[in-house]
Structure 1
Amino acid sequence: MKIIPAIDLRQGQCVRLFQGNFDRQTIYGKDPVALADSYRNMGFSDVHIVDLDGARSGQQENQEIIRSIIKSSELAVQVGGGIRSAEQLESWLDAGVARVVIGSLAIIRPRLVSEWLASYGPEKVVLALDVTLDETGTPQVATHGWTRPGNITLWQCIDTYLDVGLQHVLCTDISRDGAMTGPNIELYAQLIGKYPQIQLQASGGVRDINDLKALDRIGLPAAISGRALLDGKIDSTELTTFLPAA
């Protein structure tokens, strides 16, 4: 299993939100470029970067910082946050990102996103599907920064894109994000069972190395960790088996 550190940017700063709530953020006094470099030095091969301002406005407000990370870190960078046009997507690919992350648009405009998967290649596009569990335990996809229901289940959404070769899905259980309550192992096990061909990235709730080991045991391809790494809850010496570049 691959571990992918997360760097969330807001107004040029590295932050973490609690369950996507912009009013409940923790600011980390770390230079984002230096942080990415430190992750590379620890042995990570990838980094997940979210432009939180862009997610709200649709403008790539932290793009200079992200471009600096792409140039300096030697990491495979995947970028998300407010990417809503082919021009924006192409701009990031031209800048050298490994993968572009598409969120709400995958629910709102499935035909357009299907065209992108076909045009740019499924290896270049990650669908970020953020879910809440309904009263029956079925994962329902949320949109617009988790503020609106997408009126579609996680399974329905993924099925929509199978015919165009969908490869990468980043799934977040909203209730676990930033909460340090442990990942939703059952949800990710279901996903792996239903879609073994998908390169799944799990996000939300990772507290420590034991959570990562639990995700690894179910055969998860990749896990994203933000707060646990930033808060030092996971020591670099514990990660050796997960770091091919160490």
Structure 2
Amino acid sequence: MTVLLEISKYTMSDFAIIPAIDLKDGAVVHASGGMRAAYRPIETPLGSAADAIAISRALLAVSEAPALYIADLDAIEGVGNHFELCRDLSSALPHTALWIDAGFSNVTDCAFWLPLGATLVIGTESLSFAEDWQELRATFGESLMLSLDFDAEGQRGPASLFAEPAHWPERVIAMSLDRVGTGAGPDLELMRGVVERAGSRSVYASGGMRDIGDLEAAAEAGAGGALIATALHRGAVTQNEIAAFLQRRRSRSDQIRNPAS
């Protein structure tokens, strides 16, 4: 409960920078361009690819993040899962909210992961029908997040889920799979479209974040946060830059709330 309260407070007043890790074959891998068969163990100064806990702790320390996004690529591809590793991460990071995408497509899948106490991210690429999402939301409510998945060819998943924002939960990820890990920059036009249709919902941009300027652009476009990985591993976004960015956002938020001060 404490973690949920802390993240709620954080995201109401700040732009949330959420570090991401991708798990495949028991290791943290470098996700790039959505070509998952080609992903290899990550080479990073933040730790060994075989030590997801060490890498996660380092990412969280750099980003001042309230949450960690985990993509279980084996589960998404239907060739196993990293449930036990995610359980270890949950135990090692008791004050961090975990957002887990493990290819969830039905109530049974989600129920298996519920004991972790994590927020389950439902990716549209894993859904065959919009009704699958409706059943999940009716069962688990706002404890779920919806990831609207896009690639170079457009939407991935049931078209009606993208077209009907009334069915979206309070937290939505705009995921540009083809830009992940590429350094190509975020698709700001796509993100603005999602933000515009989302209304009061929080939208988190994902894919292509290169530097602090991209995070600034996402925030100015109305995103409530962004997922980031490669730029943190490469040092293209530093702890000092993030701290200064977050302080600017907090100062601006304070000015809006207290214009006379």
2:54 corresponds in structure 1 to 34
State the secondary structure of the residue aligned to 1:175.
helix
Give the TM-score, by structure 2 length: 0.78
| Counterpart residue type for residue 32 of structure 1 | A
Is the 1:3–1:225 contact (alpha carbons within 8 Å) kept by the matching residues of 2? Answer: yes
1:106 positional shift: 6.3
Query: Does structure 1 residue 25 correspond to structure 2 residue 25?
Result: no
1:3 corresponds in structure 2 to 17
Kindly report which structure 2 residues correspond to 1:114-133, keeping only aligned pairs within 5 A, or say none: 114-122=134-142, 124-132=143-151
Query: Does structure 1 residue 196 correspond to structure 2 residue 199?
Result: yes
| Counterpart residue type for residue 177 of structure 1 | V
Is the 2:106–2:132 contact (alpha carbons within 8 Å) kept by the matching residues of 1? Answer: no
Is the 1:203–1:223 contact (alpha carbons within 8 Å) kept by the matching residues of 2? Answer: yes
Is the 1:58–1:81 contact (alpha carbons within 8 Å) kept by the matching residues of 2? Answer: no
User: Sequence identity, in percent?
Assistant: 24
Is the 1:7–1:50 contact (alpha carbons within 8 Å) kept by the matching residues of 2? Answer: yes
The one-character-per-residue Cα deviations of 1:177-197 (angstroms, maximum 9, x if unpaired) are 221011011111122122222
Query: Does structure 1 residue 90 correspond to structure 2 residue 111?
Result: yes
Is the 1:80–1:102 contact (alpha carbons within 8 Å) kept by the matching residues of 2? Answer: yes
Higher helix share goes to which structure? 2
State the secondary structure of the residue aligned to 2:31.
strand
Query: Does structure 1 residue 79 correspond to structure 2 residue 100?
Result: yes
2:259 corresponds in structure 1 to none
| Counterpart residue type for residue 102 of structure 2 | G
Query: Does structure 1 residue 56 correspond to structure 2 residue 59?
Result: no
The number of equivalent residue pairs is: 225
2:254 corresponds in structure 1 to none
2:255 corresponds in structure 1 to none
1:206 corresponds in structure 2 to 209
Query: Does structure 1 residue 233 correspond to structure 2 residue 233?
Result: no
1:157 corresponds in structure 2 to 161
1:141 corresponds in structure 2 to 155
Unaligned runs of 5+ in 1: 135-139, 144-149
State the secondary structure of the residue aligned to 1:20.
coil
